[in-house]
Amino acid sequence: MILGTGGTIAGTAQDPSRQWDYRAAQLSVSQLVEAVPALRGVPLETVQVAQVDSKDMSWSVWRALGRALHEHLERDEVAGVVITHGTDTLEETAYLLQALHDGAKPVVLTAAMFPATSPQADGPTNLRDAVRVVQEASRRCLGGVVAVMHGRVWSASAVRKSHSNAPDAFDGGDAPPLVNLRREPVESDEDVVKALAKLGFRAQRAGPAEPAEESWPSAWHPCGRWGWGYLEADPPRVEIVCSHADADGWIVRAMLAHAQTSARPLRGIVVAGTGHGTMHAGLTEALREAVRQGVTVWRSSRVARGGVLPREGDEWPGVPYLTAAQARVALTLSLLGASRKE
Ligand code: SIN
């Protein structure tokens, strides 16, 4: 099963020689599959869940995706699912799906840095690789969520876009790829299965389980098994604030002032902090005010590698290794989880 959501992988340009002058999300997912000769004869179904540039990703698209995954993963004849996606927010969707998926079948996100009309189009190879990873994982009864880009398989909680225009645009922060498909052909190498099983993919389970009992923020590791039902609720408002020179907390106070009249009040803030999750003293003061008004604050880091280290006297939980955008998803789910228990 291939679920299409748009992105550059489905993008087209008027003039294919003008690499960056294109529109994302133009071709249907069935057109993408038809363009890959290696997929001819593979029993595939396609469903167009959305057609968006993923910079415009929204909870409603995630909800539609969750519904489609729920429906199709339940079907015995579906071995697993590939999702075609934009690169810009792939790390958020990957993290979200991993948190919700029961892990019973493989779900693989893939994307492209060049549009389908480009002479350098990378989508067809990425799509072929993604299908192979689903086939291989399914054959070995492995499930979970990973991302496949440029010949590498990434854990859904580690993957992040780290280059704005290179074909090799993703990395895993401090985490290496689970598998390098170019060095370890997925069809043949036992090590691939071992690597997939190490992170993200694991032995198939009998069926969906209850969400893990552990409390957030300690539950941001693979296969959260929180269930697709989380996407049916309206999400609480969670914003990201960056710490930087002169960060005096003005933006936080502006949000708090606006929140008093907003239909969807502010419930959480993720700080993209300096270094290992530190922040400007002026911003800290404003965040204390936010906490006094019932807002939950989590800390992440704006630094590419290393993440947040716990320190004596930390005022707010630090998210160890997620990007700020992934931490926003984690805090949203955490707040939703808390409200479901009330
Ligand atoms: C998008 O994220 O949909 C556009 C950019 C891309 O896919 O590379």
pLDDT, average across residues 244-250: 98
pLDDT in tens, 40-52: 999 999 999 999 9
Note the pLDDT of residue 188. 44
Q: Whose C-alpha lies nearest to ligand 1, atom 1?
A: 86
Ligand 1 atom nearest to CA at 7: 3
Mutational test site, ligand 1, from 12, 88, 159, max ligand atoms within 8 Å of CB: 88
- Whether the per-residue pLDDT at 301 is higher than 50: the answer is yes
Q: Tell me the CA–centroid distance for residue 55 and ligand 1, in Å.
A: 7
**Averaged pLDDT, 130-142:** 88
Res 1 pLDDT > 90: yes
More confident residue, 191 or 220: 191
Query: Residue 209 — pLDDT band, cuts 50, 70, 90?
Result: very low
Report residue 208's pLDDT band, with 50, 70 and 90 as the boundaries: very low
pLDDT at 220 over 50: no
What was the pLDDT predicted at 215?
Answer: 31
Which pLDDT band holds residue 309 (cuts at 50, 70, 90)? confident
pLDDT at 224: 64
The tokens for 327 are: 């931490």
Ligand 1: lining residues by beta carbon, under 6 Å: 6-8, 24, 53-55, 86-88, 111, 113
What is the overall mean pLDDT for the chain?
87
8 in catalytic set = yes
Tens digit of pLDDT for each residue in 104-135?
899 999 999 999 999 999 999 999 999 999 99
pLDDT beyond 90 at 8 = yes
Q: Are 276 and 309 in contact (CB under 8 A)?
A: yes
If you average pLDDT over residues 282-303, what whole number do you get?
97
Pocket test for ligand 1, best of 52, 55, 162 (most atoms within 8 A of CB): 55
Question: What confidence score (pLDDT) does residue 194 get?
Answer: 53
Q: How confident is the model at residue 17 (pLDDT cuts 50, 70, 90)?
A: confident
Q: Choosing from 8, 84, 89, 284, which is the catalytic residue?
A: 8
Of 195 and 129, the structure prediction assigns the larger pLDDT to: 129
How far are the Cα atoms of 68, 105, 158, 319 from residue 102, in angstroms, in the given order? 14, 8, 18, 23
What is the whole-number distance in angstroms between the Cα of residue 191 and the centre of ligand 1?
31
CA of 194 to the centre of ligand 1 (A): 31
Q: How far is the CA of 114 from the centre of ligand 1 (A)?
A: 9
pLDDT bracket for residue 229 (50, 70, 90): very high
Using pLDDT thresholds of 50, 70 and 90, give the confidence band for residue 214: very low
Rounded to an integer, what distance in angstroms lies between the CA atom of residue 217 and that of residue 204? 26
Q: Is the pLDDT of residue 197 over 60?
A: no
